[in-house]
């Protein structure tokens, strides 16, 4: 083994002082470093380019993970997340720069508060690990620094690995795995209990800032009144008391700045598992809860808006709505229809980001502008039908639209960050101040939409005649060929690594996954099935340890925002 370590040193010394391009000799090569296996997956073109990518294989005997931490997909995801964070800590404690550009850099992808399925660390059922790292291969100017490279790869890297795998404390690993297993188990119990979300008493919901997702210091822990309390059984933490949000139509009311949006955000984030200490690590929502908002200016392709929009001026089609520049209300209607198509079972809507004319139309407006002249069927009119006929729940933050009191199953009032059950009181108010001429109006039947089949010819990842080019810009955008897909308003896209994964999936779509036959939900099913069977590597670029799993809803949302998208048999 030491011999092979020597081989790498020799190979690096041989190219010492030569032009940077000679590093390419390493591409695809494998070496052993003591107990570890090293492979060069991708070699950077010059010292200033994105760093090279290596993967390290760690045999089970060296990793020595306990059996329980590798048993089952959830435990493996949680253990991988734990090891990933151990690498982050170890690497940040031992930084070194050795020359020009990215020389000497040794990094693993950053992570946020969620324990997502990722490609940086893979834990196999037998307890072996694969870790993917970025390495800045050292140079002076553009000349290879072979000795420094040998130092970095045969000394520092094994040291980091040793520190991660010798320093493991089984207790903290256990806490991490149990915490995440509990969240998965709690989430599974929601629908049997008639809930869309459960937030354990004492949880910390607010975040430090819009740019810092860690828990707010000195926040008021979640208080749970008896009327809204549920008890669920977590396999490790035992019986937990918490705030249950029942399936159906729930309003979150309350004065401005009383914590309404914060509660809704926690529900939106509850589709993910959070790390211990996050404050939301016992807050779970059904996995198919989708945040909906208005997003004027986006493109909409072949979406059946008839549940909400009919009879547009100039005879514009609404059963196959197509625009490069949606309005607030049409964009919100499209977001709902698209979410339902992808399989959403709960919709989360905040008045702060909704189109008012989509949410309600009051009595005076209904009188001034007769229905024949108003294309919009407000959400108010459809929200009960959505629940009663389609079993789609809604959780709505509504501070100002009292008409919703008539259609809510549950009304929660946030009062100085404390939830109260005011359902009964809301009924009394609705009774005392009835809506004579308005209130929710009986809507027509929910129209049956045609399936949407993306046309592969409309997915072009090349720029003009050039190579395929797909990359993402944080969680803001995905560049796809000559287009930039704006995903900045997708609230449940929480990590840049998810954006990269979506870019990979879109590329797969363009390369044949999308065949003009499969409907959009069939495409999403295929992607989910492949990942469930063979892991993220099945759909992502394997050379990079910087991908994380995005949900089908965010994948669909990105595809739906591709301006060039066309559908087979389109309008
Ligand atoms: P609303 O939507 O009702 O106007 P927000 O949810 O936006 O209110 O909350 C207003 C402010 O209060 C935010 O800055 C938020 O971080 C803070 N906040 C929310 N919940 C708590 C809490 N439990 N403890 C302390 N501060 C909180
Ligand atoms: Mg708000």
Answer whether 203's CB lies under 8 Å from 222's CB: yes
Spatial separation of the C-alpha atoms in residues 76 and 83, rounded to whole Å: 10
Q: Is 459 in the pocket of ligand 1 (CB under 6 A)?
A: no
- Name the β-bridge partners of 33: 36
Same domain? 142 vs 261: no
> Two tokens at 402?
């009292």
Out of 114, 133, 168, a domain closes at 168
Same domain? 331 vs 376: yes
Number of domains in the chain: 3
- pLDDT for residue 437: 56
Measured in degrees and rounded to the nearest 5, phi and psi for residue 53 equal -120, 130
Same domain? 137 vs 185: no
Same domain? 433 vs 303: yes
Reported as a single tens digit per residue, the pLDDT across 50-96 is: 999 999 999 999 999 999 999 999 999 999 999 999 999 999 876 66
Range of the domain at 219: 170-449
Same domain? 385 vs 509: no
Same domain? 513 vs 437: no
Given a cut of 50, whether residue 300 has pLDDT beyond it is yes
CA angle, residues 21, 23, 27, in degrees to nearest 5: 115
DSSP 155: I
Q: In CATH, what number is assigned to the domain containing residue 407?
A: 3.40.50
- pLDDT for residue 470: 94
Closest C-alpha residue for ligand 1 atom 25: 219
Residue 30: CB atoms within 10 A of its CB come to: 13
Given a cut of 60, whether residue 571 has pLDDT beyond it is no
Same domain? 317 vs 245: yes
* Domain assignment present for 255: yes
Given a cut of 60, whether residue 229 has pLDDT beyond it is yes
* Domain assignment present for 567: no
| Ligand positioned closest to the Cα atom of 253 | 1
Same domain? 525 vs 380: no
Closest C-alpha residue for ligand 1 atom 1: 257
| Ligand positioned closest to the Cα atom of 206 | 1
The percent of residues above 70 in pLDDT, for the chain, comes to: 98
Answer whether 291's CB lies under 8 Å from 339's CB: no
Given a cut of 90, whether residue 546 has pLDDT beyond it is yes
CA angle, residues 340, 548, 204, in degrees to nearest 5: 75
Same domain? 266 vs 119: no
Out of 118, 134, 168, a domain closes at 168
* Domain assignment present for 565: no
Reported as a single tens digit per residue, the pLDDT across 301-336 is: 999 999 999 988 888 899 999 999 999 999 999 999
Out of 425, 449, 473, a domain closes at 449
Spatial separation of the C-alpha atoms in residues 455 and 566, rounded to whole Å: 6
Same domain? 57 vs 135: yes
Same domain? 29 vs 67: yes
* Domain assignment present for 332: yes
* Domain assignment present for 34: yes
> Mutation test of ligand 1: which of 259, 283, 414 has the most ligand atoms closer than 8 Å to its C-beta?
259
* Domain assignment present for 570: no
Distance 216 CA to ligand 1 centre (A): 10
> Mutation test of ligand 1: which of 213, 262, 266 has the most ligand atoms closer than 8 Å to its C-beta?
262
Answer whether 196's CB lies under 8 Å from 247's CB: yes
List CB-based neighbours of ion ligand 2 within 5 Å: 261, 352
Q: Is 261 in the pocket of ligand 1 (CB under 6 A)?
A: yes
* Domain assignment present for 566: no
**Closest C-alpha among 447, 503, 439, 497 to residue 471:** 503
Rounded mean pLDDT, 166-183: 92
Which 3 state secondary structure label does DSSP give 159?
helix
Closest C-alpha residue for ligand 1 atom 9: 259
| Ligand positioned closest to the Cα atom of 350 | 2
Answer whether 284's CB lies under 8 Å from 183's CB: yes
Dump the DSSP string for 167-232: S--HHHHHHHHHHHHHHHHHHHHTGGGTEEEEEETT----EEETTEEEEPTTPPPP---GGGEEEE
**Over the chain, what is the mean pLDDT?**
94
Ramachandran quadrant class, 248 (left: phi over 0; alpha: psi -120 to 50; beta: rest): left
Same domain? 265 vs 374: yes
10: Cβ contacts below 8 Å, ≥ 6 apart: none
* Domain assignment present for 435: yes
Q: Which of 97-101, 273-277, 327-331, 351-355 is predicted with the least confidence, judged by mean pLDDT?
A: 97-101
Q: Is 489 in the pocket of ligand 1 (CB under 6 A)?
A: no
Answer whether 246's CB lies under 8 Å from 410's CB: yes
């Amino acid at each position: 083994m030491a011999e092979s370590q020597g081989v790498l040193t020799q190979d690096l010394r041989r190219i010492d002082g030569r032009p940077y391009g000679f590093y390419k000799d390493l591409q695809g090569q494998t070496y052993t470093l003591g107990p570890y296996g090293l492979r060069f997956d991708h070699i950077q073109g010059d010292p200033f380019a994105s760093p090279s990518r290596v993967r390290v294989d760690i045999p089970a005997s060296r990793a020595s993970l306990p059996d329980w931490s590798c048993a089952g997909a959830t435990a493996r995801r949680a253990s991988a997340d734990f090891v990933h964070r151990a690498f982050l800590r170890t690497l940040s404690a031992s930084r070194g720069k050795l020359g020009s550009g990215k020389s000497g850099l040794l990094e693993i992808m950053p992570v946020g508060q969620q324990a997502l399925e990722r490609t940086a660390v893979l834990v196999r059922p037998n307890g072996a690990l694969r870790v993917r790292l970025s390495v800045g291969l050292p140079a002076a100017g553009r000349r290879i620094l072979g000795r420094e490279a040998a130092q970095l790869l045969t000394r520092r890297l094994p040291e980091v690995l040793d520190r991660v795998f010798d320093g493991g404390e089984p207790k903290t690993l256990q806490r991490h795995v149990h915490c995440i297993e509990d969240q998965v188990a709690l989430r599974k119990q929601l629908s049997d209990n008639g809930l869309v979300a459960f937030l354990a008493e004492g949880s910390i919901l607010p975040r430090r800032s819009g740019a810092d997702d860690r828990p707010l210091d000195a926040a008021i822990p979640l208080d749970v009144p008896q009327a809204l309390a549920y008890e669920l059984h977590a396999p490790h933490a035992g019986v937990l008391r918490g705030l249950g949000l029942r399936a159906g139509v729930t309003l979150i009311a309350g004065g401005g700045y009383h914590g309404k949006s914060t509660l809704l955000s926690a529900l939106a984030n509850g589709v993910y598992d959070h790390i211990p200490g996050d404050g939301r690590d016992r807050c779970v929502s059904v996995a198919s809860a989708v945040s909906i908002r208005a997003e004027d200016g986006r493109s909409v392709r072949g979406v059946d808006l008839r549940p909400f929009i009919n009879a547009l001026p100039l005879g514009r089609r609404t059963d196959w709505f197509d625009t490069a520049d949606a309005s607030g209300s049409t964009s919100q209607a499209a977001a709902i229809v698209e979410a339902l198509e992808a399989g959403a079972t709960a919709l989360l809507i905040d008045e702060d980001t909704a189109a008012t004319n989509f949410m309600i139309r009051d009595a005076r407006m209904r009188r001034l502008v007769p229905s024949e002249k108003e294309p919009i069927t407000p959400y108010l009119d459809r929200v009960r039908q959505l629940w009663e006929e389609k079993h789609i729940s809604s959780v709505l933050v509504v501070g100002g639209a009292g008409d919703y009191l008539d259609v809510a199953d549950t009304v929660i009032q946030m009062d100085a960050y404390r939830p109260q059950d005011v359902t009964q009181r809301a009924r009394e108010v609705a009774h005392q101040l009835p809506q004579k001429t308005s209130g929710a109006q009986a809507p027509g039947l929910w129209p049956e939409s045609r399936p949407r089949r993306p046309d592969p010819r409309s997915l072009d990842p090349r720029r003009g005649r050039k190579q395929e080019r797909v990359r993402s810009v944080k969680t803001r955008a995905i560049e796809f060929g000559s287009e930039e897909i704006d995903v900045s308003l997708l609230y449940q896209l929480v990590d840049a690594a998810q954006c990269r994964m979506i870019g990979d999936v879109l590329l797969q779509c363009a390369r044949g996954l999308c065949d003009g036959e499969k409907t959009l939900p069939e495409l999403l099913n295929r992607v989910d099935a492949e990942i469930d069977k063979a892991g993220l590597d099945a759909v992502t670029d394997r050379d990079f340890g910087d991908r994380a799993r995005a949900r089908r809803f965010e994948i669909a949302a990105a595809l739906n925002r591709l301006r060039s998208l066309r559908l087979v048999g389109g309008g």
